[in-house]
């Protein structure tokens, strides 16, 4: 099976594209190779993998925060397996993640946790951007992104390997252990200590506590995990960082509690939906075909629903994005506002329990709010 790769990262830079004096944006982390003489190292320049490790010893560098640097030296340019790119810091840039909004306080906390290598638990309503945030972190820091959905885990071993039955050449069934992406990444991290891996455990509380216990030694100072195929414990490299995401609340079915011991293995970060103005900006960049006014209407109605205590669940950003997909389609050209009520009926009401025409259900309550809002769209103001 192929090595895990970061889907978001573009191709690798060539050595001849690097020149002394050229400026790049990069993000440094603490250098684990102390004997190199450099405190900080990076793997990417302008979002592309560098042909050699990028090193600096400037004490002004803040690990996990983007920097603008200038190349001062290229060591051993003719060697593919040796050398380094030495840079000097020009200035520290604001921490930013493309396509993601972060509250400034959360952003600073996130930088600290990423620099410290602590496991992070993203806790927030469905569709608030937890997965997008994790992918963006991996891209910004040049980490290999490994996605794993915990909802499919039944047995503790399922985190690392699954049992598959296939037909042999003779036609009789054969049982095989198949490594998961998590195990592949852990093995690969030991082979390539210069690379960094971000393992994202989505829907972490959709598997039973007994199954999650299999990961406990990997998440604490023990830093090891049981290899079900080789019947031994293997170490978890320091270049592996875990981020888990959970949805907690009575509105979520098929979820299990997370006990204090498991929670204590993570540093929790509370997330929420984007502020309306930020959501308008995000949707505007993603759907430039739509006018700002129609996006404002969609977000304003979504915000009303999200702030209703009577509704048992929130409304994800995927819902507003879906509405925009409908509205910009050529089939609805010049008829966007005319069809808006039907689009909201399916994309918004369809995400709540019950039916839109049942006023006693969540979907019916949502439809009532939508109808009232559409009676006079001129009164829809962002932040209501």
Express each pLDDT in 168-224 by its tens digit: 777 777 778 889 999 999 999 999 887 889 999 999 988 888 888 888 999 988 999
Whole-number pLDDT of residue 249: 54
pLDDT of residue 9: 41
Q: Minimum mean pLDDT among 150-159, 191-200, 373-382: which range? A: 373-382
Taking CA 133 as the corner, what is the angle to CA 255 and CA 43, rounded to the nearest 5 degrees?
130
Q: H or E element: which one contains 42?
A: strand 40-45
Pick the CATH number of 15-92 from 1.10.3720.10, 2.40.50.140, 3.20.20.140, 2.60.40.10: 2.40.50.140
Fold of 104-270: Rossmann fold (3.40.50)
CA angle 341, 343, 348 (to 5 degrees): 95
234 phi and psi angles, rounded to 5 deg: -125, 145
Average pLDDT over residues 4-30: 77
Q: pLDDT, tens digit, for every residue of 276-316?
A: 998 999 899 999 999 898 999 999 999 999 888 888 777 88
Please report the DSSP string for 118-185 in residue order. Answer: --EEEE--TTSSHHHHHHHHHHHHTPEEEEEEGGG--SGGGGTEEEEEEE-TTS-EEEEEEE-HHHHH
Residue for token digits 């972490």? 204
Cα gap 312→302, rounded to integer Å: 15
Q: Is the whole-model pTM more than 0.95?
A: no
Which tens digit of pLDDT belongs to each residue from 325-366? 999 998 887 666 678 899 999 999 999 989 999 989 999 999
- Round the average pLDDT of the chain to a whole number and report it: 85
Half-sphere exposure (Cβ direction) of 100: Cα atoms closer than 13 Å: 25
* pLDDT for the residue numbered 349: 93
E-strand stretches of 204-313: 224-227, 232-235, 240-246, 267-270
Cβ atoms of residues 40 and 56 within 8 Å: yes
The ranges assigned to domains in the chain are: 15-92, 104-270, 276-379
């Amino acid at each position: 099976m192929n090595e895990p790769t970061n889907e978001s990262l573009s191709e690798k830079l060539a050595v001849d594209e690097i020149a002394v004096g050229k400026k790049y944006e990069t993000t440094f982390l603490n250098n684990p190779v102390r004997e190199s003489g450099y405190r900080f190292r990076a793997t990417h320049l302008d979002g592309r993998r560098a042909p050699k490790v990028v090193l600096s010893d400037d004490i002004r560098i803040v690990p996990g925060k983007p920097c603008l640097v200038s190349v001062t030296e290229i060591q051993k340019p003719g060697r593919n397996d040796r050398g380094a790119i030495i840079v000097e810091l020009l200035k520290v840039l604001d921490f930013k993640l493309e396509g993601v909004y972060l509250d400034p306080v959360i952003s600073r906390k996130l930088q600290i946790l990423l620099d410290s290598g602590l496991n992070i638990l993203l806790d927030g309503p469905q569709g608030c951007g937890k997965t997008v945030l994790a992918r963006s972190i991996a891209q910004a820091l040049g980490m290999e992104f490994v996605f794993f959905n915990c909802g499919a885990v039944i047995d503790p071993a399922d985190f690392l390997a699954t049992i598959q039955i296939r037909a042999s050449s003779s036609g009789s069934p054969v049982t095989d252990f198949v490594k998961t992406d998590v195990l592949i990444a852990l093995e690969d991290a030991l082979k390539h200590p210069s690379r960094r891996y971000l393992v994202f455990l989505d829907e972490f509380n959709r598997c039973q506590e007994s199954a999650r216990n299999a990961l406990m030694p990997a998440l604490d100072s023990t830093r090891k995990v049981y290899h079900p195929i080789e019947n031994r414990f293997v170490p978890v490299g320091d270049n592996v960082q875990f981020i888990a995401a959970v949805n907690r609340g009575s509105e979520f079915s098929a979820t299990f509690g997370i006990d204090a011991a498991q929670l204590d293995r993570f540093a929790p970060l509370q997330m929420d939906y984007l502020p309306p103005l930020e959501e308008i900006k995000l949707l505007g960049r993603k759907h430039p075909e739509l006018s700002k006014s129609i996006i404002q209407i969609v977000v304003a109605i979504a915000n009303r629903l999200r702030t209703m205590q009577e509704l048992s669940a929130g409304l994800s950003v995927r819902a507003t994005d879906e509405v925009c997909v409908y509205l910009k389609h050529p089939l609805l050209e010049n008829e966007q506002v005319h069809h808006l009520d039907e689009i909201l009926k399916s994309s918004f009401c369809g995400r709540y329990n019950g039916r839109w025409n049942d006023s006693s259900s969540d979907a019916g309550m949502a439809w009532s709010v939508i109808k009232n809002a559409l009676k006079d769209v001129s009164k829809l103001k962002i932040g209501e």
